[in-house]
Each structure stands twice: as structure tokens, then as C-alpha cells.
Structure 1
Amino acid sequence: MDTARLHADAQVVDAHNDLILLVDHMDKRGRTDHFAEFWLPELRAGGVDVQVLPIWIDEDHQSEGALRRTLLLAERIHELAAQYPDDVAICSTAADIDAANRSGRIALVMAIEGAHGIGQDPKLIRTMFRAGVRVASIAHYGRTLLADGSGLDDTARGGLTPQGIEVFTEMERLGMVFDVSHLGVNGVEDVLNLASRPLLATHSTCLVITDNHRSLGDDQIRRIAALGGVVGVAAAIPWFIDPHNPTADRVVDHIEHVVDIAGIDHVGLGPDIIDDYFQEVWGGWPAHAGDPSGNAGAIGPYEPAEIKRPSDLVKVTDAMVRRGFGEQDVKKVLGDNVMRVFRQVMGVPSQRERPSS
């Protein structure tokens, strides 16, 4: 099987790349062409057809500046689409994605990671939808006014707050895809009990392989699949994959485990590409990237991930082919499965009643 041809023919969906953070960092240093000079060639080399762009809010902007920061980064994504109309397009529906790809453009899907900008006002999720956001999670490592993040699983273990339930219900009604990655274990349980539509874990791994607060247990994976959802397997952060062996083959170990637990229709790719941002801004991985407590020794020794940038994604395809995945199954993992969720949910209103506010 020609791996390069297979990868090129697939509709490749990357469910999580934090590239807008590095674009913003370079903007502030007068390098406003960074996206065209670095990221566009990388995305093209990686065969990426659909790029989910999460907006993550760092601690310096939580909580007082979170809404402003969220909207500024959302505006920057819109500016990218205006700057490079022949290369990228912001997409609100699966039909928009297909149209962008047919024209040779990369489809950009806007996302918010942690939803810090919403604060205590659930109605702002509608504002985010109007701004173009189509994928959202409602907590990161720590606590928001909507839910507890996975970093608190050893202590608070809080689930969704009443405001979090209101946001979740409104997301389903609007046609915004819910993302359970980073949500604490009890929050995931709440969502799985409430959900009536398919959802995503955009960038997660398997607990049975890596015992990490960011990994999903087998029962969680099965229940996500039962809703028609998809687990996007992370590939670019070593300690989520295997800190001592973060190779493309080890990523495929996670993919195979999801397949064994839930079936081939419920796994995708969410590499969580952020290495270049941390190297440029921090001079390396900050301690809190591995441990939300900020413990400087938390990360421990690790090997660099084999999948660091979009151009590396073909290595996952090569590893799947070597492991015996058939052509159609490879295409499902690379993008068809996530696209199915987008076709069912993204920009498709449900019949749920709007929550009172």
C-alpha cells in the first residue's frame, strides 16, 4: 500500500493544534507573516484538510481578562482567513468544510478550550457561536465556573455546575460540538449522562496505556462511542503517549486500544501540537504542562515526541499501515470519523429546549 498516496487521498482532520498561540506571539514581535511562513507549509506537508483551532487562555488572563483574550484570538483567526483566502476558510458546517476542501483550501474550525471567557454567564456560549466557534470544552486543568478540569481529579472531583449544565444544553441546541478532553472525571460522567448527540474527546489518550489525568478509561471510551462520538488520540505531548517511548507506533497503540474497546468508527486524531510554542515562548516545556500543580519535578525524564508538527502526521499513517490497518480504516482514523460527528452536529440545531437564563 502506498502510504503517501493514502495519506494524501484521505480527508485529514486534526482535532487539536494550538497554533494560534504561536501566531499571536509572533504578531507581537512584528512577525505577522508567521502563519504563511511556518504553519501553512507545515499543514500542507501534513496533508491537513481540516484544522480545529482551539483558543486556550493562559493563567495570566484567567479570569479577569479571559473574555477579551478569547475574542482577540477569535478575531485573529478571522483575520487569517481574510489574509489568506486562497489557502484557508473558516467553516461553520460540514458542508462548508467540504466546499473549502474541494477548492483546495484548508478548513478552519474554531474552538474554545476551557471556555474561561464565559465566566458565570452561560448565555455567552451563544456569543461564541455567533463569533464562529463550533467546538468547545468547559474546563482545562483547573476549575472554571462551569466545571472542574482533569487536574483536580485527585482532590475536588467536581462535576458540571448548574451553569455548566446550562452551557452544555445550549451547545447541543445550537449545534456546537462538545469536547470532553480536559474535563474532570465526574464532569465527563455528567456529560455522558446528559448527552443526546455525538461528542468528541478532541485530544485524549487511553488510561490503560498511560496512567495520566488526561487519559480516558475504557468505560468512558465505550460510552462516548455509544453516543456516536469519537476519541481523538493525542500524539505530540510525550507524557500523554508514553514519556519513555512517544513514537508514532505508540500513538497507534492508543488508536488500537480505542478500536478494541469501541470499534474503528470511534477513533480519530487530535495530536495537541504545541511544542514549537513552548520552545519559542518558554525555552522548553513548562512544568505545568505535565502537572497543573506547577511542581517543577512533575514531568520527570521524557523523550521528545516523534509527532511534533503537522508534517509528521504521515508517520502515524505509515505506522497504521505497517500494523495492518486497511485503507478504509486508515481513512476513518485520519478524518472520516470526526467528519461524521461534524456532519451530524456542527451547525445543526437540535430540538432541545433553550435553557432559561
Structure 2
Amino acid sequence: MTDARRLHDEAVVADTHNDLLCAVVARPVERWASFFREQWLPQLRAGGVDLQTLPVFIEDPYRPEGALRRTLRMIEAAHRLAEGNADEVALCRDGADIDDALARGRTALVLALESAPGIGDDVELLETLFRLGVRVASLAHFGRTALADGSGEDGTGGRLTRAGVAALQEMERIGMLLDVSHLGAAGVEHVLELATRPVIATHSSARAPLDHHRNLTDAQIRGIAAGGGVVCVNFFAPYLHATDFSIDRLVDHLEHVVSVAGVEHVGLGPDFVKEVLADTTPPCCEVTLVEGVPADAYLPGLEGPAGLPLVTEALLRRGWAEPDVTAVLGANVRRLYVAELGRPGPAGRSA
């Protein structure tokens, strides 16, 4: 579809969750930049990715004792791959950096923390990590942290801990965007009660099409939109449908979130993990990411960023207007990031 490819190439495409840093740090230090250039940059270019969020995800063997050291090592890897590929990418700290990178034809990279296990309840370390370039952070993964319960602990009804409330306040002060993906249901509601600045869901689908704890309810989606935030739909097949792993089911979720939040509050949070798992999991092991579903359940053609033009084609086939397609592809996330990242709140200061 030439019209789809044209539109995709003209649009700003934003991916708010790709764990590629896990694959990068699995290489020797001297290979970090070159491995990214060889393995990931061609995929980002093929997918038209202009704005890429890089989560710092800390695997179980590093928690809790080695979490902070692992966090710092992954942040260092992000800086080195950006410095070693400065002709192609730029690590961005605020909206001006993002606009400059896009104007120069660079892919804008934004550092994020996924559940932030490295800080424990030492909330002051958020500013330390902010100084190192982190601009987005979530409070939990599937389980319990010092800040909140993840969605896998929904049965506890846990809200934010005292430290979690302080973390939200600190993030709003320094200009770090809070990510509610993976947060337990009660925790999301707590965030929406307290937040005075927009929040983001970097990789969360909708619970109405598929009732899974990793997906957001309509009330949560409306709350994020009401605060000016963006819900970025996850591409992981088992979060979209129980059995039909197809791009049509992804579009179903996108259309549902649009119907609830409005098209200006929806984005893409693919969560591409196939290559990362292949790179970081020993052949001896079988990985299950979702209860009873093998980790190799993917949408055909959308196993990695090179397949992103297929999303544009699918949306146009459904009859979406071009401005709505470009909004969801990345314009909404760009608007949010440019407005919020690195911008201090009341009593805040730049770092």
C-alpha cells in the first residue's frame, strides 16, 4: 500500500517501550555501540521509528542487591550507544532535545525506568537518575516493590506506599513522567487521584476487549486522558486476544482506547521482546511471560520494529483518517514528551 508507506514515512513514529537495552548490555562493553548499530538501528530505520523510549528493565537475578548497579550499567550503555551513533540517534533530556534530534533526522532516544527496583524506597535517588538522563519511570512490575504493587498482585488491593506517594511527588517536581503500565489496579487509581501533571501508560492494552490484569479499564483510560496523558497500546499478542494473534486484534484495542480516551490520547507501546529474549535467555530454558501462554506468541510481522508500517496499513484499511493515524503513530507522544520531559514543576528545579 503505497499510500500507507508514504503516510508512515511522513509521520513521526514513536515507540514507547522496546527492551533493546537488555540485549545491548548482554554484549561486551566495547560492543555496545556497534551492536546497536548493526542489530537495532536497521530495524528502527525500517520501521520509521523517530522517537524511541528505552526502558531500563532489571531482571530477577539482579533484584534486590544488584539492582542499582545494573540500573547504572544500563544507563551507561544507553549513553555509549548514543555517543557511538551520534550521526543517527540522540539521547534526549527535554522537548528542545527531541525537536532538535527530529529536525536533524536523528532518532530521539528517551531513557525510562521500568519499576525502578534500583532505588528501593530511597526516593531522593530519582533526582540522581534524572541527572543521568532518565525522564520516564514506573513504580512496579508484576510483583511488589517498595513503592507499589504491580498488576500481578491485584488481589492485595495495594495502593502506593508512602514512598510511592513521595516518588510521584518527586517526579512531578523534577520533570520526570510517571508511567502507570504494570501498576496494580488500586495503584493506578491512587496515581490518578494524586497526580497534578499528565501521566503515561507506555505499554498497556484495554481490559474491555480482553480481561487481563495487565490491561487498563475504561475508567483508568478515561482518567489518564482527563489528566492530559497518553495510553500506548501494547502489541504483545496474549494481552490482545486469548487465541487470535493477529494485527486486527491490535487494531481492536487501538480503536477501543480511542473510543474511550479520544484519538489525541492514544499511542503505540509495542513491547517488542522476541529478539531480546532470544539474545538473553539460555537455550536450555523455556520462558513464559503470561500465565499458560508461551513467550513466543507474537503478532505475525510485528515481532520487531521493522514491522511498524503494517500498523499504518491496518489502520487505513479500517477506514481511519490520516490525521488520526499520524496522531496515534507518534504525534500524541511527541506532544506529551515535548511538553513534560525535563520541565520542573512547582518548587522544582532543572538538573
Return the alpha-carbon distance in structure 1 between the equivalents of residues 347 and 84 of structure 2: 37
1:327 corresponds to which letter in structure 2? E
Alignment-derived partner of residue 69 in structure 1? 70
Alignment-derived partner of residue 121 in structure 1? 122
2:209 partner SS: coil
1:203 partner SS: coil
> Cα distance 1:301–1:166, how it changes in 2: closer, same or farther (>3 A)?
closer
Once the two structures are superposed, residues 217-243 of structure 1 have per-residue CA deviations (whole angstroms, 9 ceiling, x without a partner) of 0110011110011100011x2211224
1:81 corresponds to which letter in structure 2? A
Q: How does 1:68-107 map to 2 (within 5 A)?
A: 68-107=69-108
> Cα distance 1:30–1:351, how it changes in 2: closer, same or farther (>3 A)?
closer
Return the alpha-carbon distance in structure 1 between the equivalents of residues 29 and 79 of structure 2: 17
Once the two structures are superposed, residues 258-279 of structure 1 have per-residue CA deviations (whole angstroms, 9 ceiling, x without a partner) of 1111111111000001111112
Q: CA RMSD in A?
A: 1.8
- Which of 334, 338, 342 matches 2:329? 334
Alignment-derived partner of residue 312 in structure 1? 307
> Cα distance 1:285–1:321, how it changes in 2: closer, same or farther (>3 A)?
farther
1:79 partner SS: helix
Shift of 1:216: 0.3
8 Å contact kept, 1:243–1:301: no
> Cα distance 1:277–1:171, how it changes in 2: closer, same or farther (>3 A)?
same
- Which of 336, 343, 354 matches 2:338? 343
1:261 corresponds to which letter in structure 2? V
1:234 corresponds to which letter in structure 2? N
Return the alpha-carbon distance in structure 1 between the equivalents of residues 13 and 31 of structure 2: 32
2:311 corresponds to which letter in structure 1? V
Return the alpha-carbon distance in structure 1 between the equivalents of residues 123 and 185 of structure 2: 22
Structure 1 residues without counterparts, runs of 5 or longer: 292-297
Return the alpha-carbon distance in structure 2 between the equivalents of residues 301 and 43 of structure 1: 22
8 Å contact kept, 2:33–2:82: no
> Cα distance 1:353–1:133, how it changes in 2: closer, same or farther (>3 A)?
closer
8 Å contact kept, 1:243–1:303: no
1:51 partner SS: strand
Return the alpha-carbon distance in structure 1 between the equivalents of residues 19 and 67 of structure 2: 17
Return the alpha-carbon distance in structure 1 between the equivalents of residues 103 and 31 of structure 2: 33
Alignment-derived partner of residue 198 in structure 2? 198
Return the alpha-carbon distance in structure 1 between the equivalents of residues 227 and 244 of structure 2: 32
Percentage identity across aligned positions? 48
Return the alpha-carbon distance in structure 2 between the equivalents of residues 171 and 63 of structure 1: 22
Return the alpha-carbon distance in structure 1 between the equivalents of residues 37 and 29 of structure 2: 16
Once the two structures are superposed, residues 320-353 of structure 1 have per-residue CA deviations (whole angstroms, 9 ceiling, x without a partner) of 0111111111110001111121122111111157
Once the two structures are superposed, residues 104-152 of structure 1 have per-residue CA deviations (whole angstroms, 9 ceiling, x without a partner) of 1111000000010111201001011001000100100111101111111
| 1:38 lines up with 2:44 in the alignment | no
| 1:249 lines up with 2:245 in the alignment | no
Alignment-derived partner of residue 172 in structure 2? 172
Return the alpha-carbon distance in structure 1 between the equivalents of residues 295 and 92 of structure 2: 40
8 Å contact kept, 2:34–2:84: no
What count of residue pairs does the alignment treat as equivalent?
345
Return the alpha-carbon distance in structure 2 between the equivalents of residues 30 and 91 of structure 1: 22
Q: TM-score, normalised by structure 2?
A: 0.94
2:149 partner SS: coil
Q: TM-score, normalised by structure 1?
A: 0.93
1:209 corresponds to which letter in structure 2? P
Alignment-derived partner of residue 295 in structure 1? none
1:330 corresponds to which letter in structure 2? V
> Cα distance 1:28–1:80, how it changes in 2: closer, same or farther (>3 A)?
closer
1:242 corresponds to which letter in structure 2? H
Return the alpha-carbon distance in structure 2 between the equivalents of residues 73 and 57 of structure 1: 9
Shift of 1:24: 1.3
Shift of 1:280: 2.9
Alignment-derived partner of residue 264 in structure 1? 263
Alignment-derived partner of residue 216 in structure 1? 216
1:135 partner SS: strand
2:256 corresponds to which letter in structure 1? H
Runs of 4+ in 1 over 4 A off after TM superposition: 28-32, 300-303
Structure 2 residues without counterparts, runs of 5 or longer: none
1:169 partner SS: helix
Shift of 1:176: 0.7
Alignment-derived partner of residue 9 in structure 2? 8
8 Å contact kept, 1:148–1:159: yes
